[in-house]
Amino acid sequence: MYSAVKDLADTSVPFGVVCSGVCKSELAPSASTSTDSGVHSCMAYPELWTLQQFAFFTPPAKLSYWFAYWQRERLKWWKKFSKCPSDFSLTEITDPVSAGGDVASKSGAEVSVIRKLPWGGSEAVEHLRTSLLMGDGSAVTPHAIVCDSSLDVAAATYISDGLSLRDDDSDEMVLRLHHKLAPYKATVATTIPALRPLSSLLQIQLKRARVAVYCNPLLGTETSLEEQISRFDEMGIMFTVILDESTQKTGVAYVRNRDTTVRVRRSTT
């Protein structure tokens, strides 16, 4: 990979390359497994999963610096999108090749990003390691820092991180996804059939403003606003534009925040 990318990009170290692809897990349980442990295994080791790999090539003299740099950056990334950043940490560096000294300067140093699970225990969500490349005839034989993660693990991590009860006295579930991870940022809700055209117009205007909008199939139906909003909270939608009886008279709607439940008055004109 190193020589091919180096020649293609006509560059020199340090540089990095990202790879992504679907892999088949040898740890996936059989289809006949029906025990609780089997269900857990299906979640932890799906039969097919998407590998996300980042390889960074550096001169040997700079390996320690870049290895420490990417540890910080990868941990920062995992914490950035979590509502519980303190649940993420790094393991200690292990070096199967040699002990003592500056382990990051040798081939075989490994670090994992660990997440503390809501139900107890912990799991590794990403692995970082160093390795020595085979010589390509150049004056300097580069080292590689490889970061391995899974798109499936990342999705499961942030869904389980964000899903919780509204409060201790409620059985209402809320998916508090980070706003950059939420697939839909807004939707429109109403129970009044006469307001369906206005609702559709608002959805179109939001889409034109490049807002990811969920097209509510319950617009103008008998499904109560509370039921619609509860459904949107479970889907992780950040904002709900509410049209009610007063909207017909005053042209004023309410924008509800998923996390705070606060409703702010906004004009529809």
Higher pLDDT: 133 or 27? It is 133
d(CA 41, CA 37): 6
The pLDDT, as a whole number, for residue 164 is 87
Matching CATH topology for 2-164 and 175-267?
A: no
CATH architecture of 2-164: 2-Layer Sandwich (3.30)
- Cis check: omega of the bond before 142, within 30 degrees of 0: no
- For the chain, first and last CA: distance in Å? 56
For residues 99-113, give the mean pLDDT.
64
Most confident range (mean pLDDT) of 69-73, 119-123, 147-151, 164-168 is: 69-73
Percent of the chain with pLDDT over 90: 46
The string of pLDDT tens digits covering residues 227-237 is 999 999 999 99
**Who contacts 45 (Cβ-Cβ below 8 Å, separation ≥6)?**
25, 27, 28, 29
pTM > 0.85: no
Higher pLDDT: 214 or 165? It is 214
The string of pLDDT tens digits covering residues 46-57 is 677 788 888 888
Range of weakest confidence among 2-6, 39-43, 53-57, 224-228: 39-43
Residue 188 predicted with pLDDT over 60: yes
The pLDDT, as a whole number, for residue 131 is 81
The pLDDT, as a whole number, for residue 31 is 43
The pLDDT, as a whole number, for residue 238 is 95
Domain residue ranges in the chain? 2-164, 175-267
The pLDDT, as a whole number, for residue 226 is 93
For residues 69-96, give the mean pLDDT.
89
The pLDDT, as a whole number, for residue 6 is 58
The string of pLDDT tens digits covering residues 239-268 is 999 999 889 889 999 999 999 999 999 998
pLDDT tier at 225, thresholds 50, 70, 90: very high
CATH architecture of 175-267: 3-Layer(aba) Sandwich (3.40)
Residue 27 predicted with pLDDT over 60: no
Range of weakest confidence among 17-21, 143-147, 167-171, 172-176: 167-171
The pLDDT, as a whole number, for residue 49 is 79
pLDDT tier at 209, thresholds 50, 70, 90: very high
